[in-house]
Amino acid sequence: MKKIDLLVVGGSAAGIVAALTARKYNKNASIIVVRKEGKALVPCGIPYIYGTLKDPAKDIIPDKLLLDKNIEVVVDEVKSLNKDEKTVTLSKGEKIGYGKLILATGSVPIVLPLPGINLKNVFTVIKDIPYLQGLMAAIEKARDVVIIGGGFIGVEFADEFRKRGLNVTIVEILPHCLQLAYDEDFCVIAEKKLTERGVNLKTNNKAEEIIGDESGKVKGVKLSSGETLKADLVLVGVGVRPNTELAINAGLRIGEQKGIWVDEYMRTSDEDIFAAGDCAEKYSFFTKKPSALRLASIAAREARIAGVNVFGLRRKNPGVIGSFSTIIGDLALGVAGLTERQAKEAGFNFVTGSATVLDKHPGAMPECKEMRVKLLFEKASKVLIGGQVAGGPTTAEVTNILAALIEKKATAEEVAIFQYGTHPALTCSPINYQIAEAAEDALTKF
Ligand SMILES: Cc1cc2nc3c(=O)[nH]c(=O)nc-3n(C[C@H](O)[C@H](O)[C@H](O)COP(=O)(O)OP(=O)(O)OC[C@H]3O[C@@H](n4cnc5c(N)ncnc54)[C@H](O)[C@@H]3O)c2cc1C
């Protein structure tokens, strides 16, 4: 039986970063990454296969990244884990022994228990190239597409499908698309852009049944409003659940949000087994309570913690803030930390401040766009707890600045005078730098 120092199960955002990080801190350890798929996908790139990239083969993370660092890649499925023996068993019965194990088995899409869910041309978002090629073949022949779920996955697919000229409708049970990620004012901006891009929105509406024809192929979706939408393809994007089967069968502890329980060092209930990414339980940075957030950026950060700690505990996980961006046409939207709704639910009193400014200066600079920033500060301490941004291409990095300020617990006074840099073609003006202006606005309200 092969025995290695570190075995990583999962070869996506968490697995790759965990293995690469472990290598940085231990040049001599034997490291293997086992993953099911022949090729590793860029998971967040999946929607862009269908309008921008036009081919699943372009959405790949090359194995070279790992091979160049002397990390072995095994394409196989780990069928079971024996934590007492410290072995895993692969699909053909081969065993691998490990010194330390990192579980990075990710998540799988939630499948709605809807009548008609198994009809031909009903898809979910499975991170697997052959499956995504099947979706590509179907989309090439489709005309009317219904997307069930108006979260960021549904919205990104809708925008990409529109680039192919398809008739696209999003069905969302909540009053607004993106409502779990942004406050209503930002959802309204997003919905205006989606509508401008030609996406039909059926919000406050539940998909009740997927209807098929005699050949077993989808032909429509029946809504709670009584309306039936014509569809020759349905995409269901209603979230994911942690992939914890291996961990459960091995007797590892599971958390409240159904992820593999981990401590702040990313250790599971077995101290030689770590977990990172979508499969691992998350804890809120703000409340320390279990969190349902699952993002590639969180997976990578947890992997940087687990990858180091397998060879000696050094890094602690401060919990998830959640920094995320998306784009609809030329409108980018970002969020870091808590929205107003989330802050209220968590029990915070807060003050908001906003600014709407141009993202270059002077305004006559080419491709100058309006940027809106809203910040939330906890009322008593004046500490930044959340921010939302809508604007042009710099939105994502402005959002990441907010995430860093939140993590460092910057106060409104500190945010108003943090040292930023500006350039006419690249940023807002120093006179009304968006983050500082929004903090100044909040300071007038405490
Ligand atoms: C369409 C879409 C768009 C997204 N966009 C964004 C975005 O823009 N930004 C963002 O931050 N997040 C985004 N996400 C979320 C992000 O993709 C996930 O958070 C991320 O993929 C989690 O990475 P992971 O490594 O934990 O798990 P996964 O990506 O789910 O990977 C799990 C890995 O484990 C392997 N595996 C599982 N079980 C076994 C087994 N038994 N044996 C061997 N291998 C196994 C799989 O083969 C795979 O390699 C998006 C998700 C989707 C679906």
Measured by CA distance, the residue closest to atom 8 of ligand 1 is 44
State which ligand 1 atom lies nearest to the alpha carbon of 11. 49
Residue 115, preceding peptide bond in cis (omega within 30° of 0): no
Measured by CA distance, the residue closest to atom 52 of ligand 1 is 44
Give the Cα-Cα-Cα angle 54, 55, 59 (nearest 5 degrees). Answer: 110
CA quadruple 298, 300, 301, 307: dihedral sign: positive
Question: For 362-391, what is the HEC assignment?
Answer: CCCCCCCCEEEEEEEEECCCCEEEEEEEEE
| C-beta of 282 in contact with ligand 1 (< 6 A) | no
Please tell me the distance from the alpha carbon of residue 40 to that of residue 63, in angstroms, as a whole number. Answer: 8
pTM of the entire structure? Answer: 0.97
State which ligand 1 atom lies nearest to the alpha carbon of 46. 1
Instruction: State which residues of the chain have pLDDT below 70.
Output: none
| C-beta of 104 in contact with ligand 1 (< 6 A) | yes
Among 250, 330, 328, CA closest to 85: 250
Q: Is 123 helix (H, G, I), strand (E, B) or coil?
A: strand
pLDDT in tens, 19-78: 999 999 999 999 999 999 999 999 999 999 999 999 988 999 999 999 999 999 999 999
Q: What is the pLDDT of residue 299?
A: 98
Secondary-structure percent of the chain, ordered helix, strand, coil, rounded to 5: 25, 30, 45
Pocket test for ligand 1, best of 72, 78, 105 (most atoms within 8 A of CB): 105
Q: What is the pLDDT of residue 320?
A: 98
pLDDT in tens, 306-336: 999 999 999 999 999 999 999 999 999 999 9
**What's the CA-to-centroid distance between 44 and ligand 1, angstroms?**
8
Q: What is the pLDDT of residue 441?
A: 98
| C-beta of 243 in contact with ligand 1 (< 6 A) | yes
Q: CA distances (Å), 45 to each of 53, 127, 415, in order? A: 9, 10, 33
Q: What is the pLDDT of residue 197?
A: 97
| C-beta of 357 in contact with ligand 1 (< 6 A) | no
State which ligand 1 atom lies nearest to the alpha carbon of 245. 41
Measured by CA distance, the residue closest to atom 26 of ligand 1 is 277
| C-beta of 299 in contact with ligand 1 (< 6 A) | yes
